[in-house]
Amino acid sequence: MKTIAELEAKLAEPSADLIHDLKSVDGDILILGVGGKMGPSLAKLAINAIREGGLNKRVIGVSRFSDEGTRRDLEGAGVETISCDLLNDRELQNLPESRNIMYMAGNKFGTTGREHFIWAMNAYLPGRVAEKYRNSRIVVFSSGNVYPLSPVGSGGAHEGIAPAPVGEYAQSCLGRERVFEYFARLHGTPMVMFRLNYAIDMRYGVLLELAKSVWEGRPVDLTMGHANVIWQGDANEMALRCLTKCTNPPSVINVTGPETLSIRFAAGEFARRMGKEVIFHGLESETALLSNASRSHQWFGYPRVSLLKMIEWVSDWVQAGGVIWNKPTHFQEREGKF
């Protein structure tokens, strides 16, 4: 992949399994928070699956659309768009009803000093949405940050591990889940809590940050020495397929790749491919933020894009000077301060 168009096309390639699952799901798909990092590619993936399956469904994307280019791009792909400030209750209540809701709205970065806003977005707004869409299926995007740090050799936190979020961002993510769960139990709304970490696109993500450090000769911090990653296209596909898994009480699912990724290994792979020397800083800790995604792999199979393929693609992208986004993951953060 050499261009944005090729990357976007790859992210939006539906599998036969996704098309099959969407055939079994009645109604249109409404995506709240479609303007974020993953929303546009998820919307296009849904549109492509609907077209290839000959399905009679609409995909509607809702966002403030501060970037009009994103809106034009989505509409050009066949996604209907609505501009809405979800925190404005009048605008929220005027949104159309939909049988299927992908809830992607949220806030992570710049939380220090704006804690009130992150709690409004991540814990207050879910209650308003859950009331509005009490008769829908809802897939709630959440985060593996709700878990405590896990021993590196443990395989990561599984869904049965009690949440122990560190810092206000992670706490507000758990707040999002708990508020949605309250209204799900109150109204009988079927839901899935979609705990994701970390999605990879050549323009952002853990692997891009490592590749840039190696390419630019900057030290690679090993303090958070391990992580989980998954190709964004695979994560989006699993999210859409979760519409078939919504239950009441809500189901919880960890979504990431099968490997406990060694940051040292990944940086070494980038160095080898780029003909660079890698500089390391610090030493690996005995714990890391890790998720065990065995349940999602049982539900949907393993991700289609392998770890080494992601490393290959990101390496080529960085060396070619591909477009990147200034949206750091802060995966190195051990104190929960974003």
pLDDT for the residue 331 = 79
The verdict on residue 207 lying in a domain is: no
Confidence of residue 61 (pLDDT cuts 50, 70, 90): very high
What is the distance between the alpha carbons of residues 192 and 236, in angstroms, rounded to a whole number? 14
User: Does 280 reside within a domain?
Assistant: no
Given a cut of 80, whether residue 123 has pLDDT beyond it is yes
Per-residue pLDDT, 193: 98
* Region for residue 174 given its phi and psi (left: phi exceeds 0; alpha: psi -120 to 50; beta: otherwise): alpha
Identify the CATH number of the domain in which residue 127 sits.
Answer: 3.40.50.720
Return the pLDDT at 66: 87
Q: What pLDDT score was predicted for residue 3?
A: 93
Q: How much is the pLDDT for 336?
A: 64
Q: Cβ(239)–Cβ(42) under 8 Å?
A: yes
Q: List 227's β-bridge partners, or say none.
A: 261
Please list, in sequence order, all residues whose beta carbon lies within 8 angstroms of the beta carbon of residue 34, skipping any fewer than 6 positions away: 40, 42, 43, 61, 62, 63, 74, 79, 81, 104
Q: Is residue 69 part of a domain?
A: yes
pTM for the full predicted model: 0.95
Residue 320 has pLDDT above 60, yes or no: yes
The pLDDT score that the predictor gives to residue 338 is 59
Mean pLDDT of 96-111: 86
**Which whole number is the average pLDDT over 203-207?**
95
List the beta bridge partners of residue 310.
none
Q: Parallel, antiparallel, or unpaired: how do β-strands 150-151 and 230-231 relate?
A: unpaired
pLDDT at site 113:
73
Per the domain annotation, does 86 fall within a domain? yes
pLDDT tens-place string over residues 284-299: 999 999 999 999 999 9
31 by DSSP, 3-state: which? strand
Residue 334 has pLDDT above 80, yes or no: no
Whether residue 326 lies inside any domain: the answer is: no
Percent of the chain predicted with pLDDT > 90:
90
Average pLDDT over residues 159-183: 95
The reply to whether 220 falls in a domain is: no
Look up the domain containing 101 and give its range: 4-201+229-257+288-304
Is the separation of the CB atoms in 163 and 147 below 8 Å?
Answer: yes
Residue in 126, 142, 132 with CA at minimum distance from that of residue 174: 142
- What does DSSP say about strands 280-281 and 220-221: parallel, antiparallel, or unpaired? parallel
Residue range 208-232, pLDDT digits in tens: 999 999 999 999 999 999 999 999 9
The predicted pLDDT at position 332 comes to: 78
Q: What is the pLDDT of residue 152?
A: 96
Count of the separate structural domains present in the chain = 1
| pLDDT at residue 142 tops 80 | yes
According to the model, what pLDDT value does residue 291 have? 97
- The band of 111, judged by pLDDT with boundaries at 50, 70 and 90, is low
Structural domain includes residue 322: no
Residue 222 lies in a domain: no
